[in-house]
Structure 1
Amino acid sequence: MADLKDELDTSPEVGELDDLPDPLPGGRSASVSGPADGTGSDLLDRAHVLLAAHPVADGYSGLPWALRHLPWFDLELGESAVDTDIPRMREGHVGALFWALHLPESLDGDQAVSATLDQLDLVKTVVRSHPDGLRLACTPGPITDARHSGRIAVLPGPAGAAALGDSLGILRSLHGLGLRALTLSGTSWASEAGMTRFGEEVLREMNRLGVVADLSGGSADTVRRACAVSKAPVLCARSAARALRPHPANLPDDLLTDLGAVKGVCMVPLTAEQTGPSVRDVADHLDHVRAVAGPECVGLSGTYDAGTAHPQDLADASRYPHLIAELLRRGWSEADIALLTWGNVQRVLREADFTAREAQRRREPSTAKIADFDG
């Protein structure tokens, strides 16, 4: 475990739908009207105003693992050792944030379960110690409450599938502790060979609980099968367009089409490795995903504090307005940007919650074991 810090140390950057009162400095108007081809300053002003009304629901932060290696930190005052703190999230208009519980691939079995529990405990401890800025939110209602109280909603997850130890009982326990999303890859039941019958049972139990399936990094067969089996929308928490950049976690157009057909959301990561070295490269991916999957199927994933370099002008969580300004320059409508930043993720969470309530009326907790299906 001692050598894991080096794996996840933050690398340098590659260069440099509800109402929410958040006025801009200088008393600027809350209107987003203005020419799409305005000056850079005008576009940035418009981006700030738009994000004040439709903040970012960020699909992936590596902060839990990064914080466990710091002897002391204060996210309320600001923390230079990480990419994400409360002042920078406020400056970037982040309204909700998934705190990933992913682990290095070298951990599996009991070690993976234990390390995931440790991270969940850390998430709760960090939120409790920053009550003025953060609020734990595992369902849509508390997310909205956090936003209207001026706090940032923290959603635990995604965790790696290895955290289950092939046990649905552990899945239920993690959900009871607040887990909101699980990545379906890297196990015997969700592998390069696809999803097994036990994997399908895991997904059905996730639907019953309201745990959202994250398919980033999953094989094409796993993605297709999960889209077919899941009764709730799925996420790809860290996937861009493979047609523009051939990274293994990026999605080819056929899978983007499949994701769009089931109203899932592809959350484009702000990483140089997956999207490219500039803010315009990231915008190219957003354009492509929107064109192929539809405007209701694209979201944002900062992927800050996950040990990866970021594009120029997107160095940390404060920089989202620069990306939105670029989208405005390209002619994105306010409605499409509102879906991108906030609306699409909220829809997925609401539908997952509704699916869980309905499933719990019809289905008892599964007692299936992996040997019952795949033994």
Structure 2
Amino acid sequence: MTSLIPVLDCHNDLPFALREKAGYDVQRLNQVREELHTDLVRMRRGGVGAQFWSAWVPSSIPQEDAVVATLQQIDAIHRLTAAFPETLQPARTADDVESALATGRIASLIGLEGGQSIADSLAVLRQMFHLGARSMTLTHNDDLAWATAATGAAEAQAEADGTAGSPGARSTCGLTGEGLAVVAEMNRLGMLVDLSHTNERTQLDALGASTVPTLFTHSSVQSVNPHPRNVTDRVLERIAATDSVLGLTFVPAFVSSDVRQWILDRSQARIDLGIDDPNRSNSLTRPYSMPAAPRPGQSCEDARAHNTAHHAGFDYGDTDAEVPPAAAARLADWEVAHPEPRATLDGVVAHLEAAREAVGITRIALGGDYDGAATLPAGLEDVSRYQDLLHALADRGWSRGDLEALAFRNVLRVMRAAEDGADEPAEAAPQV
């Protein structure tokens, strides 16, 4: 590999990190921001040429509130793109992405992460599309009335009932008639159907119903690590059959079986120490509370200060309840005796090679999930490290053509397929 290969990353949670840590202040991102995984300096170092920014809000909040918060997320992405026109170019189509790559700017794309953002309304979905959203994950961590999550109540109940099957693949609940209508409307609009976070039944239903290839923006492979958020062998077969694309992610619990087991063990330790309810199932997902956005007349700094004072950091398996000091001390002792394992770049390579073997080089991509996980694997600590991953794959015999397919060409293909399948011509982004 003699030169940078541009990366079209499918999933980055910087917008929510800016809400929590900066009160939506988008300035100074042209400097290294050590409190974040992402800034424009390190994106350039990593060769990021296009980014799907995640307009994500928690699936645990009321859906009407989720719509408002999603609009705030989209607004932050628009303001971020407008603040750095020399570096970022708004993008809504594959042609927009190629235009940005040709001019040396980073294509700035928007993806919704979870159907809670549309509050059971196709009208809201259409308006999100008109605001620039070009993909939507059907669920986040919680079930919806019309789609089932890999980590939601239906799968938890199926596991508790002893139903046979892989993690995230036990429940027979998938897409309802309403869910199929959502997929059909996304196809009509030309909006990518993102199946990360959904359970196997929802994935198979959507793969069967969609008239164009789908995209998994940030998932990995269950045969390497049996996390419910990873993709089963049966779904891999359908990805290949439908010419869809699997975006492999860097989230440590998805990458490393040791990290996944440590999270489960820590959740059990909290129960054993009397911190959590023994009837509460062990959790592999992070509970989220909602940081504040600036109110009218309030500055970004005021909102940031409020969140610093009132918004506790996220942690795997923790509840919102205050932990008694004695129990907290015993938990700290447990963590000293059981240090958290570290996922590695080599672990990500293992998932990439397993996915390539299962679905082929033309059906895999990258979705790092930077600023959406507390830590990242050793060797992939921030967005500057993408080329290190590509170099590691080149050392294992991947050709430049293979790496370009992985890094950007495969996602451009599914974007074009979605645009070509839409009822109306693709709507390019307004240029700045």
Shorter-chain TM-score tier: 0.7 to 0.9
Alpha-carbon distance between aligned partners in 2 of 1:281 and 1:174, rounded to the nearest angstrom: 36
Secondary structure class of the residue paired with 1:96: strand
Is the Cα–Cα contact under 8 Å of residues 116 and 159 in structure 1 kept in the other structure? Answer: no
Q: What is the Cα deviation at residue 103 of structure 1? A: 1.5
Partner of residue 349, structure 2: 283
- Equivalent residues in 2 for 1:80-99 (5 A)? 80-99=34-53
1:55-86 CA-to-partner distances (Å, cap 9, x unmatched) read 11101100001112315441123322211111
| 2:254 is the counterpart of 1:274 | yes
Partner of residue 39, structure 1: none
Q: For this pair of structures, how many residues does the alignment match?
A: 310
Structure 2 gaps, min length 5: 149-153, 155-172, 257-342, 426-432
Alpha-carbon distance between aligned partners in 1 of 2:368 and 2:196, rounded to the nearest angstrom: 14
Partner of residue 70, structure 2: 116
- Equivalent residues in 2 for 1:56-205 (5 A)? 56-69=7-20, 70-71=22-23, 72=25, 73-185=27-139, 186-191=143-148, 192=154, 193-205=173-185
Partner of residue 369, structure 2: 303
Structure 1 gaps, min length 5: 1-31, 33-45, 362-375
Secondary structure class of the residue paired with 1:113: helix
Alpha-carbon distance between aligned partners in 2 of 1:59 and 1:158, rounded to the nearest angstrom: 11
1:307-343 CA-to-partner distances (Å, cap 9, x unmatched) read 3321111000000111111111211122211110011
| TM-score, length basis structure 2 | 0.70
Partner of residue 219, structure 1: 199
Q: What is the Cα deviation at residue 206 of structure 1? A: 0.3
| 2:215 is the counterpart of 1:258 | no
Q: What is the Cα deviation at residue 107 of structure 1? A: 1.4
1:203-245 CA-to-partner distances (Å, cap 9, x unmatched) read 1110111110110111111101111111121111111110111
- Equivalent residues in 2 for 1:315-354 (5 A)? 315-354=381-420
Query: Which amino acid in the other structure matches residue 209 of structure 2?
Result: V
Q: What is the Cα deviation at residue 135 of structure 1? A: 1.3
Alpha-carbon distance between aligned partners in 1 of 2:349 and 2:187, rounded to the nearest angstrom: 32
Secondary structure class of the residue paired with 2:100: helix
Secondary structure class of the residue paired with 2:8: strand
Alpha-carbon distance between aligned partners in 1 of 2:112 and 2:121, rounded to the nearest angstrom: 17
Alpha-carbon distance between aligned partners in 2 of 1:81 and 1:146, rounded to the nearest angstrom: 28
| TM-score, length basis structure 1 | 0.80
Q: Percent identity?
A: 35
Secondary structure class of the residue paired with 2:197: coil
Secondary structure class of the residue paired with 1:97: strand
Query: Which amino acid in the other structure matches residue 231 of structure 1?
Result: T
Alpha-carbon distance between aligned partners in 2 of 1:307 and 1:332, rounded to the nearest angstrom: 28
Secondary structure class of the residue paired with 1:180: strand
1:246-273 CA-to-partner distances (Å, cap 9, x unmatched) read 1111011111111111111111111221
Alpha-carbon distance between aligned partners in 1 of 2:349 and 2:224, rounded to the nearest angstrom: 11
Alpha-carbon distance between aligned partners in 2 of 1:297 and 1:61, rounded to the nearest angstrom: 20
Alpha-carbon distance between aligned partners in 2 of 1:326 and 1:350, rounded to the nearest angstrom: 29
Query: Which amino acid in the other structure matches residue 374 of structure 2?
Result: T
* Cα distance change on mapping 1:308 and 1:235 into 2, 3 Å: farther
Q: What is the Cα deviation at residue 108 of structure 1? A: 2.8
* Cα distance change on mapping 1:308 and 1:258 into 2, 3 Å: farther
Partner of residue 229, structure 1: 209
Larger Cα-atom Rg: 2
Is the Cα–Cα contact under 8 Å of residues 213 and 234 in structure 1 kept in the other structure? Answer: yes
Alpha-carbon distance between aligned partners in 1 of 2:106 and 2:45, rounded to the nearest angstrom: 12
